[in-house]
Structure 1
Amino acid sequence: MNAVDSSLDAAPIADWRSYPISADLVNLVPASDALDTHWSDGRVSPFHYQWLRDNCACGQCVYSVTREQLFEIVDVPEQLHPQRTRIDEQGHLLIDWQDGHHSRFHPGWLRAHAYDEVSRAERRAQRPQSQLWGAEMSEQLPQFDYQAVMADDDALLQWLLAVRDIGLTQLRGVPTTEDVLPALAKRISFIRESNFGVLFDVQSKADADSNAYTSFNLPLHTDLPTRELQPGLQFLHCLVNDATGGESVFVDGFAIAEALHQEAPELFHTLCETPIEFRNRSRNSDYHRLAPIIALDAYGVVSEIRMGNFLRGAFDAPVERMPALYSAYRRFIAMTREPRFRVQRRLDAGQLWCFDNRRTLHARTEFDPASGARHFKGCYVDRDELLSRIHVLQR
């Protein structure tokens, strides 16, 4: 239900999503600083009065066009209390405040935002979970049809969910013209530009400004670890691949981090806690970033891998921690070389890789440029754009 129909000047809920009613409000028990709401399934959710007033969605508190908040909590007394609370015939929570303001809360929205321990645990369990993978992905690679993704939003959503949860996908049946990649990327959102351009050509160049633009072996890495925010998604579209060698190699950085956590937790924590300098210097640019190889999110879950040995500066750590840092770093790279984690496949003309660059490390075996042409077209789209597109498609 997107809108609240109220005689109390209520406006649409300050959100564009729908909130199904999974349980009904059955009783309200006021306390000194909070309202205990009792649900039909037996759950009790306390809501502090400041929280309730802060989340009022009436037309005075939220602008109905943008659904963005106008009200600021500092504009009401800190010790505010309801004058009256009740449940209306539609099951909404109604509150009359001491200053004459009125609030109405949809039960589906209220339950979705309840912050009692059970409700918060329920939301955490519903968060998307990364599906870790290893060498078996060679046989289980998620593959999607280009024409379907371009024409059908349901097919687009299934592809994007695989990118989000697995971090490695392949599209097939992709036309081998240079105008295809930007159109595909824009099915998600706008393309992220870098010093390599909006689009970049991955092919051997005599005046290469990156090891990617050579023909020799390129070790496992994430692109642009030298930036404050590494690109989220990377696209590599094969226009032609007649050269000998040059196979794509992938490992799931999250799976390696999890295995390291289980097998050598002290080394895992070293890579989470020790910042490493990454740098990328060319004739016209000079990028530096100090960050750990393994980053955790607000829940303590691995959210990002940052790796590029050929873009790494000298380690700078306290004397007593330097041996531990090298032990952890060596172990991580050694694990990326273990067959249990590696996927190695050739990308042929008309095929395209799309993977999570902040999770999936990629590499390329050496190829012989004299044996035939090899030309990939690439671009980046940030992870935020992926998640936003998924949310809109799911709505």
Structure 2
Amino acid sequence: MNTAAVVADFRTYPLISALGSVQTLADRVAVEWADGRISPFHHVWLRDNCPCQQCVYSVTREQVFEIVDAPDDLQPTAAHIDAEGCLCLDWHDGHRSRFDPGWLRAHAYDDQSRAERLAGQPQSHLWRSDLQLPVFEYTALMEDPAALLQWLIAVRDIGLTQVRGVPTAPGSLKLIAQRISFIRESNFGVLFNVQSKADADSNAYTAFNLPLHTDLPTRELQPGLQFLHCLVNDAEGGESIFVDGFAIADALRSEDPASFQALCEIPVEFRNKDRHSDYRCLAPIIALDALGRVAEIRMANFLRGAFDTSVEQMPRLYRAYRRFMAMTREPRFRLMQRLNPGELWCFDNRRTLHARNAFDPATGARHFQGCYVDRDELLSRILVLQR
């Protein structure tokens, strides 16, 4: 069935099972599917999601109807399955609704349907030092939408990828980042140059080692994706180090649940200050989503302010913080690799902690360029490509 005409969406929905029968009850409609599943839909939910052109503007596919404008005693006078297999409802105020069975099944909220949707959501693939690094070719990503989709899914689910064959002319990074979406500008610019310089406004622009961290934890919303593109790398040292912050959080939850809970509950302030700006954010190191899954790691010891919590909580926070940092140093979690000219890292900055060994600028030039793209843009691009 072509669902475009009856679904207020830009997507189409496969017909998993046909509608078998429909029964009207006091406050809901009970649908029995051909595969035997029974899905209840409350009257108010059905009226709220009516996809007709009176309720949804066909150009933007956005709702114009508001449920508060429906009668309080909302009831259908008739419910049936039409010749095309759609659920049709006549409401007592004269309105009519028609629901595509593919869309209806995809949004059913009986326990079994909701469990299926949850199981079908993208899953983070946790990794350790033995990660088989996903590697992609620049030309394919620039020319082939299927290769682009494969890369973006790897970024989403694994959180660390490498691209090879990238031109080494300054500014080349912008082209591949824009294959996802627009670049997020920060106080470091649209593209930032990672080089040792005397007037550095960040430790990243020195030859020091950088311990494992996420970039810009000082912002309310940390950048989602970070790109680091190698233009020149002749200096000795400077190897890149990565750990999967989600894997460390998962291990911490299992091995030391009290410390895990402390890092989820007690906020820490991060500060990023230079001669012209002063950014600060107070947030927990581990953030959970609405389902209790780890959604974000916020960590940069060199940007951390003094802990500010109660006298009773202070030892608990320090114990948890030290444990987390110690785990990031464990060989079981760490992946280290030198980046060569024409290669770039693309990783989830809100998940994957990155570090750099010290390098010796007297032994050769070292020039990386970087930029940020928000995680929302990655997820949107995946969905559009999957259409």
Say whether the fold is shared (TM-score over 0.5): yes
Q: Which residue of 2 aligns with 1:251?
A: 243
State whether residues 163 and 356 of structure 1, in contact with CA within 8 Å, keep that contact through their aligned partners in structure 2. yes
Aligned identity (percent) is 71
Report runs of 4+ in structure 1 exceeding 3 Å deviation. 1-5
Trace 1:1-395 onto structure 2 (pairs within 5 A): 3=3, 5=5, 12-137=6-131, 140-395=132-387
Change in 2 beyond 3 A, CA 1:394/1:327 = same
CA shift for structure 1 position 381: 0.1
Which segment drifts farther, 330-339 or 75-84?
75-84
One-letter amino acid matched to 1:172: R
Q: Which residue of 2 aligns with 1:8?
A: none
Residues 340-391 of structure 1 show CA distances to partners (whole Å, capped at 9, x for unaligned) of 0000000000100000000000000000011000000000000000000000
CA shift for structure 1 position 30: 1.2
State whether residues 16 and 102 of structure 2, in contact with CA within 8 Å, keep that contact through their aligned partners in structure 1. yes
Unaligned runs of 5+ in 2: none
Secondary structure of 2:313's aligned partner: helix
Cα distance in 1 for partners of 2:194, 2:134 equals 23
Change in 2 beyond 3 A, CA 1:157/1:116 = same
Cα distance in 2 for partners of 1:393, 1:268 equals 37
CA shift for structure 1 position 324: 0.6
State whether residues 277 and 315 of structure 1, in contact with CA within 8 Å, keep that contact through their aligned partners in structure 2. yes
State whether residues 31 and 40 of structure 2, in contact with CA within 8 Å, keep that contact through their aligned partners in structure 1. yes
CA shift for structure 1 position 78: 2.1
CA shift for structure 1 position 41: 1.0
Cα distance in 2 for partners of 1:78, 1:286 equals 52
- Could you state the TM-score of these two structures normalised by the residue count of structure 2? 0.99
CA shift for structure 1 position 2: 5.8
Cα distance in 2 for partners of 1:2, 1:211 equals 56
One-letter amino acid matched to 2:141: V
Unaligned runs of 5+ in 1: 6-11
Secondary structure of 1:131's aligned partner: coil
State whether residues 50 and 78 of structure 1, in contact with CA within 8 Å, keep that contact through their aligned partners in structure 2. no
Residues 72-94 of structure 1 show CA distances to partners (whole Å, capped at 9, x for unaligned) of 00001122000100001111000
- Could you state the TM-score of these two structures normalised by the residue count of structure 1? 0.97
One-letter amino acid matched to 1:182: K
Residues 152-178 of structure 1 show CA distances to partners (whole Å, capped at 9, x for unaligned) of 000000000000000000000111011
State whether residues 2 and 13 of structure 1, in contact with CA within 8 Å, keep that contact through their aligned partners in structure 2. no
Residues 1-42 of structure 1 show CA distances to partners (whole Å, capped at 9, x for unaligned) of 56455xxxxxx4221111001011111111110001111111
Cα distance in 1 for partners of 2:179, 2:236 equals 33
Cα distance in 2 for partners of 1:253, 1:298 equals 19
Change in 2 beyond 3 A, CA 1:2/1:290 = farther
One-letter amino acid matched to 2:346: C
Cα distance in 1 for partners of 2:128, 2:239 equals 17
State whether residues 26 and 39 of structure 1, in contact with CA within 8 Å, keep that contact through their aligned partners in structure 2. yes
Cα distance in 1 for partners of 2:79, 2:218 equals 54
Cα distance in 1 for partners of 2:220, 2:309 equals 20
Residues 79-116 of structure 1 show CA distances to partners (whole Å, capped at 9, x for unaligned) of 20001000011110000000110100000000000011
Cα distance in 1 for partners of 2:258, 2:327 equals 16
State whether residues 4 and 10 of structure 2, in contact with CA within 8 Å, keep that contact through their aligned partners in structure 1. no
Cα distance in 1 for partners of 2:259, 2:311 equals 17
Tell me the number of residue pairs that the alignment of Structure 1 and Structure 2 aligns: 387
